[in-house]
Amino acid sequence: MKRLFCVAPMMKKTDKHFRFLCRNLSKNSYLYTEMIHCNAILRGDSDKLLSYDQCEHPIALQLGGSNPKDLGEAAKIASAYNYDEINLNVGCPSKKVKSGNFGVFLMKDLPLLQSCIYELTNNTSLPVTVKCRIGVDDLEGSAFLNNFIERLIGSGVNTFIIHARKAISGLDTKRNRSIPPLIYDEVYKIKQNYPDTEIILNGGISSYKEINNHLTNVDGVMLGRKVYSDPSFLLSVDNNIYNEQSSFSIDQALMSFMEYILKLENKKDANRAIGHLMQFIKSLSIEKQKRKILLDELNNKNVELTNVFENFTQDYQKNLSLNL
């Protein structure tokens, strides 16, 4: 199971519905859940939070938190769900994360982070990986990152996903994904210094040309916003990255995702999935007017979903045969 191409964890985006869509476009892409805080697992409906469709493998669970015991307990519960990996979020800079002193703020407290890793690895037999940044605030530069990675390797971490920009405390989450400059070289250097450790590069990647270039320097890449804004990008992953003939098509993925939505019993789930469908449709080359009609109908709570999908499918297929 290779992490050559990973789809980034994204809150409110990479839920199980979006991951189902991803899996209908690429067999090999390595998927990540949204971050789930360990307290949510310990105090909330853990089964609802942790269950997923077996088709989603390979799939990693991303945990957030900074209380080592709580993280360990959450990992123990999660172990029963057969994930391929447990990943700790050490990269998120949001205000909420800062007040809870987790996410990227763990980069400032190595002993605490090492205790978290210790409890995670002691409570699960799954690989425990870390998603971090190249630095945070004034903690930056090669010497800092080297020491950080080396200490965590010493704690038993063999796989790092590194977002190649540092985080800045005062910036909001969105700007923290664009303002600090991307320094891919810092990540390449980590791979050179620790050749036996798996290094996955993340941040600002949006084309196969860039991916192939990065893959000559690191073990894998992780893409977030590109995949969400254009899920059909995944269609070439199996072929281009894993050298495997792909049997998927946009039309099949579209149809099976519509069927999937119709089977969802819970309204909240259906609405979330419809949101992903709309995003998917927006990225396809469907005539603007037809796309608008569909999006309007999907937004209209009074229209029967089955009819909307049926009309759209008939129209879409007619169009396809005309274009053949």
Instruction: Tell me, residue by residue from 22 to 51, as one string, x for binding to ligand FMN by CB under 6 A and - for no binding.
Output: ------------xx----------------
85 binds ligand FMN (CB under 6 A): no
> What distance in Å separates the CA atoms of residue 182 and residue 164, rounded to the nearest whole number?
5
224 binds ligand FMN (CB under 6 A): yes
> What distance in Å separates the CA atoms of residue 216 and residue 187, rounded to the nearest whole number?
12
Alpha carbon separation from 234 to 62, 85, 97 (Å, rounded): 21, 21, 30
Task: Report whether 33 contacts 9 (CB < 8 A).
Answer: yes
Closest CB to ligand FMN among residues 34, 70:
34
65 binds ligand FMN (CB under 6 A): no
Largest Cα–Cα separation, the chain: 63
**H or E element, residue 220:** strand 220-223
**Residue 92 annotated among the catalytic residues of the structure:** yes
Closest separation in Å from C-beta 66 to ligand FMN: 14
Of 212, 127, 201, 125, the C-alpha closest to 161 is 201
Q: Choose the binding region for ligand FMN from 141-149, 219-227, 250-258, 269-277 (rule: CB under 6 A).
A: 219-227
Closest separation in Å from C-beta 281 to ligand FMN: 19
Task: Report whether 99 contacts 59 (CB < 8 A).
Answer: no
| Beta-bridge mates of residue 175 | none
Cα 165-181-133 angle, rounded to 5 deg: 5
220 binds ligand FMN (CB under 6 A): no
Residue keyed to tokens 């791979």: 191
Both tokens of residue 229?
A: 């804004």
Q: Which residue is nearest to ligand FMN (CB)?
A: 224
Q: Which one of the listed residues 22, 38, 92, 116 is annotated catalytic?
A: 92
Q: Choose the binding region for ligand FMN from 210-218, 221-229, 283-291, 292-300 (rule: CB under 6 A).
A: 221-229
Number of residues engaging ligand FMN in binding (CB under 6 A): 22
Closest separation in Å from C-beta 106 to ligand FMN: 12
Q: Choose the binding region for ligand FMN from 4-12, 191-199, 230-238, 252-260 (rule: CB under 6 A).
A: 4-12
Closest separation in Å from C-beta 163 to ligand FMN: 4
Cα 225-229-233 angle, rounded to 5 deg: 95
> What distance in Å separates the CA atoms of residue 235 and residue 250, rounded to the nearest whole number?
8
166 binds ligand FMN (CB under 6 A): no
63 binds ligand FMN (CB under 6 A): no
| Beta-bridge mates of residue 87 | 62, 129
Q: Would residue 203 be called left, alpha or beta, if left means φ above 0 and alpha means ψ between -120 and 50 degrees? A: left
200 binds ligand FMN (CB under 6 A): no
Closest CB to ligand FMN among residues 29, 62:
62
Closest separation in Å from C-beta 221 to ligand FMN: 9
> What distance in Å separates the CA atoms of residue 298 and residue 128, rounded to the nearest whole number?
40
62 binds ligand FMN (CB under 6 A): yes
Q: Which residues bind ligand FMN (CB under 6 A)?
A: 8-11, 13, 34-35, 62, 89, 91-92, 131, 163, 177, 202-205, 223-226
Q: Which residues are catalytic?
A: 92
